Amino acid sequence: MNILNIAWKGIKTDFRDTRTLFFMLAFPVVLMLVLGSALSNTFKDGLPVDDIHVLYQDTSHSENFNQFISAAEKSGIQFQKVTENINPKNEVRQGKYDGYVEVTQRGLQLYVNNGNSIEGNILQGMFTSYVDKYNIASEIMKVAPEKLASAFTHEQKNDFIKETSILPNKQPGSMDYYAIVITTMIVLYGAMSSSSLIISERVRKTADRLIASPVRKSEIFIGKVLGSLVSNTICVLLVILFSKLFFKANWGDHLGMVILVLLTEIIFAVSMGIGLSFLTKTSAAPRIIIMLFVQLASFFGGAYFKIDNPEGIFKIITDLSPLTWVNSAITKMIYANDLSAAIPAVTIHLTGALIFLLVAVISLQKREGL
């Protein structure tokens, strides 16, 4: 009962602290909104291209080219025939059109505006394909004209190569990504509040009164740890709920497993805060160490920008960040249904938590008070 009373008192104290509530609730939500909106373009695989406008002059009077124009216009490529009062090359040079094509009996010539590289590349690829197919048709006409129709109308097999994606079409958007990484980052910041669980009693001169009360030191310690775990867990769940409801962030179909991984991170963060409070001699030192650690872990763990395929020494540094492991685990569970990805992250969190808790317990036993 003493443990529960101490834990309940700690929970009430945490939620009465407006600064802590703002930092644990409002700060991650605002950061998600800002980063998710500002960096949304970096998560887009495609590049939108407006309609492409092409001038053309056809002196070959080829029916094939007319069919080609009809098919190309369905894809957003607009063709306009050259008239007498238009200098087509000047029009392309001035950027009014993306290209100009001349079709004669001798072949096809394409002029593009170098300033529009994307549109120019599209036109070059499209007309290259057309010319290749036309050349094939010409060769067939020379050898076996009766086979021409069947060569281009016969249904062809296109399943010689089967492609399977590890992450099939499902990739996190900017808001999905920052919902994950900001949540895991704010969990680590929970170490700052837990670092003051015992120190605050010493600063307020209430530690001696607690020791003099009919409560064992172990009950005080467990109660404070339990209260901090519950407070941090509630804050994290509220952040997840808010991002899911208002930002439409994707937390996948295995939300229970995701929360379990986050819970082990909360245990690690709380344990780290308490452990450092016993290892340092001043009340300000734990917060400074935790702030420095969290900032470095966030930077190299992808909390501020996405890190893709690091190599060499940079990969070694990113792997030292606990956020790298937890972010990777959650992403794989959401987008690849890989629940086994949680094992490395959970192992790292619980191992680190055990080490810090052992430090705290041993230090507490050696002290006469708190």
CB 321 within 8 A of CB 241: no
pLDDT at 367 (0 to 100):
77
Q: Which domains does the chain have, with CATH numbers?
A: 2-40+173-366 (no CATH), 52-153 (3.40.190.10)
* Most confidently predicted of 83-87, 205-209, 280-284, 294-298: 294-298
Supply the pTM of this predicted model: 0.69
Q: Is 284 a residue whose pLDDT tops 70?
A: yes
pLDDT score recorded for residue 145: 63
Q: Are 148 and 140 in contact (CB under 8 A)?
A: yes
| 273-299 residues labelled b (16+ CB within 10 A) or e (exposed) | bbbbbbebeeeeebbebbeebbeebbb
Q: Which residue has the tokens 């685990």?
A: 329
Q: How many CA atoms lie within 13 A of 344 on its CB side?
A: 16
Q: Three-state SS across 294-345?
A: HHHHHHHCCCCCCCCCCCHHHHHHHHCCHHHHHHHHHHHHHHCCCHHHHHHH
| pLDDT tens-place string over residues 330-350 | 999 999 999 999 999 999 999
Q: What integer pLDDT is reported at residue 165 of this predicted model?
A: 46
Distance CA 325, CA 184 (A): 10
- Cα angle value 338/341/347 (rounded, 5°): 155
Q: Among candidates 214, 215, 197, 272, which has minimal Cα distance to 11?
A: 197
pLDDT band at 154 (very low <50, low <70, confident <90, very high): very low
d(CA 258, CA 224): 25
Three-state SS letters, 56-118: EEECCCCHHHHHHHHHHHCCCEEEEECCCCCCHHHHHHCCCCCEEEEEECCEEEEEECCCCHH
Q: CA nearest 60: which of 109, 110, 108, 103?
A: 103
pLDDT, tens digit, for every residue of 84-129?
788 888 888 877 888 888 888 777 788 787 655 677 777 777 778 7
| Greatest extent of the chain over all pairs of C-alpha atoms, in Å | 107
Sheet bearing 99-104, strands edge to edge: 77-81, 52-58, 99-104, 107-112
Compute CA distances 220 → 7, 45, 272, 369, whole Å: 9, 53, 18, 11
Nearest to 301 by CA among 204, 186, 153: 186
For the cut 90, the answer to whether the pLDDT of residue 351 exceeds it is yes
- The whole-number pLDDT of residue 46 equals 55
Q: How many CB atoms lie within 10 A of CB 318?
A: 19
Separation between Cα atoms, residue 272 and residue 192, nearest integer Å: 9
Q: Which residues does 318 contact at the CB level (< 8 Å), separation at least 6? A: 300, 301, 302, 307, 310, 324
